[in-house]
Amino acid sequence: MSAGPAGGDVTASGGTGPASGGAGPASGGAAPARFGPRPFVTIVGVTARSVLSRRRTLLVLLFVAAPVLLALLARAVGADSEATPNVIAIALGDALILHVVLPIVALLFGTAVIGAEIDDGTIVYLLSKPVPRWEIVLAKLLVAEAVTLALLVPMTLATSLIVLAGAPGADLEIVAGSTVAVAVGAIVYVAIFVAMSVLTSRALVLGLAYVLIWEGFLASLFAGTRNLSVREYAVSIGGWIAGQNLADTEPIAVGFAAGLAVAVTVIAVAITIRTLGSFEVKDGG
């Protein structure tokens, strides 16, 4: 597989999967998943099974459980703490979930749905089929987004409710704000990391550097850099829902944050489609 301008239908690759002819049956051995009249659904199903069967998914589940366990601990010792339940819930949401858990989980799944197939060469089979590249990207993106949201949204909801539900003086609007913030952040982060995975084979390392250096440090230094921070978009929108600040920094305007979140997501998806469209599968024979 080599990078170059994509033509119309790609040419099947020799020695990797199906015989030449694009949609024909594979020669010898077990045939890979066949693309019927609904290739989008097939790609979604195959990708979901692949992502959920990986060992990393089990590790992510343990990672995602950490905020819930800390919330249980905070609730258990809350009576002896000087911090109010609202302060504890916001601190857990910002310092742990938005700063650490959210971007890392999005990174792991965002780089897995396409990047892993590029690395091991199995993307050749998919690209050799007469399926539009945009359809492939949207199917892969849907799986990454759905899995990330399915893990992070319930976790955030549970963490906030454990700390706040039934606590004196608790503001339950924080629950809604924190959950929306995580959902917004997940959507934007995953789109960025999927794009990164088709641009470079070192997406996991570069994505981790982005999370730790840019989002974790540089974006909070200057007012202008905060406009390029996914976390700031999430905090601003979530804070607007909650009716209060969900971080220790002044949020950017909610309308501006929402517009930037949409723009970054659309640009990342467009980059992914364009880059994958430049991949050309050549006949090895």
Question: Residues 49-68: pLDDT tens digits?
Answer: 988 877 777 888 889 999 99
Report pLDDT for 82: 67
Mean pLDDT of all residues in 62-88: 84
- The whole-model pTM stands at 0.83
Give 36's pLDDT tier (boundaries 50, 70, 90).
low
pLDDT at position 9, please? 38
> How confident is residue 16, by pLDDT bands cut at 50, 70 and 90?
very low
Determine the pLDDT at residue 278.
Answer: 86
- Taking the CA atoms of 228, 229, 230 and 234 in sequence, report the sign of the dihedral they define: negative
**Range of weakest confidence among 14-23, 155-164, 209-218, 245-254:** 14-23
**Mean pLDDT across 93-103:** 93
For residue 81, pLDDT over 80 is answered with no
Q: Which of 18-22, 82-86, 172-176, 206-210 is the least confident region?
A: 18-22
Q: Give yes or no for residue 125 having a pLDDT over 50.
A: yes
pLDDT: which is higher, 67 or 5:
67
Q: What is the mean pLDDT of residues 232-255?
A: 91
Q: What is the mean pLDDT of residues 132-158?
A: 95
Report pLDDT for 151.
Answer: 95
- Residue 31, pLDDT > 60, answer no
pLDDT score at 15: 35
Compute the average pLDDT of residues 6-14.
Answer: 36
The better pLDDT of the pair 271, 81 is held by 271
Residue 78's pLDDT band (boundaries 50, 70, 90)? low
- Kindly indicate the confidence band of residue 121, based on its pLDDT and cuts at 50, 70 and 90: confident
Lowest mean pLDDT among 22-31, 189-198, 216-225, 262-271: 22-31
Position 59 scores a pLDDT of 84
Residue 25 pLDDT more than 50? no
- Better-scored residue on pLDDT, 201 or 144: 144
Instruction: Provide, rounded to the nearest whole percent, the portion of the chain with pLDDT above 70.
Output: 82
